[in-house]
Amino acid sequence: MPSVTVLLNPAAGGVHLRGPDGEIAKLFAAAGCRAEVHVLQRGHDPADAARAASAAGSIVVAAGGDGTVSRVAAGVVEADGTLGVLPLGTLNHFAKDLHIPLELDAAVQVVATGRIGRVDVGQVNHRVFVNNSSIGLYPSIVHVRDQLRRQGHLKWTAMAIATARVLRRYRGVRVRIDGGGRERVWRTPFVFVGNNEYTVDGINLGSRGSLDRGRLFVYLAPRVRTRELPLLLLKALAGRAGRSGDFEIVSSTELRIDTRKRHRRVRVALDGEVMKLATPLLYRTRPAALKVMLLRA
């Protein structure tokens, strides 16, 4: 049985255990696997810890939400290690798309007894992401949300207020996208870059059927004003957004995205975490770059 190192984010939205580090260690012991559990500290990059554990030959388990998984995966990819996932976040998109159980004990069993598979990751300006990256509306909302949280608002209250404020006044972003053999210029409320193809209609909205096709998919809505986005969401839930003509979709293995802030830094969301990156933004897919523990077939 290989060694297991668990990197636990105690602030993850789904952590409701008493003494979660001890509880996780017990679950691994019950599965016949000894695990060292390290609680991640604020201000420390999980990629550094993941890189060190991978170099020591350990399966590195990200215990947290998609942001934690993303940063741990970045370190694992760099060291050619193997990732395990304990989905303790609020949304857990990566785990859901890979059919990793959301129940903690079942997810522990996948790490202890599952199979190793390979999936793609995306990369922008040397930063790895496992789900998606975006510019425009969402990073702007998160920026306002964080300001409100510093003023004392609770997370979801701050998110609701920030969304309402930004939707009311945001005018979109002008982008030049070079990818898929063409160069095009649009003004759009958002640019969403997915690691593989996302479902844009129906009850599976926001999910992916595969993470190993080696493609990036870019979604824009240049014919939709920002204040009309709630209507676009309703169309998507009703299964009519894809046929509405509101979306532009670009698929490629590499992309270059320029904004008017060329050679300056713009806010970019990577798996829900927002940072500033220098433009132009250079995206590429890294096929089969990440080894991850999956359910046995």
Q: How confident is the model over 178-207, as pLDDT tens digits?
A: 998 889 999 999 999 999 999 988 888 899
Question: Hey, how many other C-beta atoms are within 10 angstroms of the C-beta on 191?
Answer: 28
Question: Helix count (H) and strand count (E) of the chain?
Answer: 8, 16
**Where on the phi/psi map is residue 142: left (φ > 0), alpha (ψ -120 to 50), or beta?**
alpha
- We find that the CATH architecture of domain 132-287 is Sandwich (2.60)
**Which sequence spans correspond to the domains of the chain?**
4-113, 132-287
Q: What is the pLDDT of residue 16?
A: 66
The amino acid at residue 164 is A
User: Exposed/middle/buried for 120, CB within 10 Å: 0-12, 13-18, 19+?
Assistant: buried
Q: List the pLDDT tens digit at each of the 297 positions of the chain.
A: 678 999 999 887 666 666 677 889 999 999 999 999 999 988 889 999 999 999 988 899 999 999 999 999 999 999 999 999 999 998 999 999 999 999 999 999 999 999 999 999 999 999 999 999 999 999 999 899 989 999 999 888 999 999 999 988 888 899 999 998 889 999 999 999 999 999 988 888 899 999 999 999 999 998 888 888 888 787 777 777 777 778 889 999 999 999 976 668 999 999 989 999 999 999 999 999 999 999 997
The β-bridge relationship of strands 254-259 and 173-179 is: antiparallel
Fold of the domain spanning 4-113: Rossmann fold (3.40.50)
Alpha-helix residue ranges (DSSP H) falling in 58-180: 66-79, 93-97, 104-113, 137-150, 155-169
| Closest to 123 in 3D by CA, of 183, 195, 75 | 195
Query: Which value, in Å, is the radius of gyration of the alpha carbons in the chain?
Result: 19
The amino acid at residue 93 is H
Over the stretch 103-157, which tens digit does the pLDDT of each residue have? 999 999 999 999 999 999 999 999 999 999 999 999 999 899 989 999 999 888 9
pTM of the model: 0.92
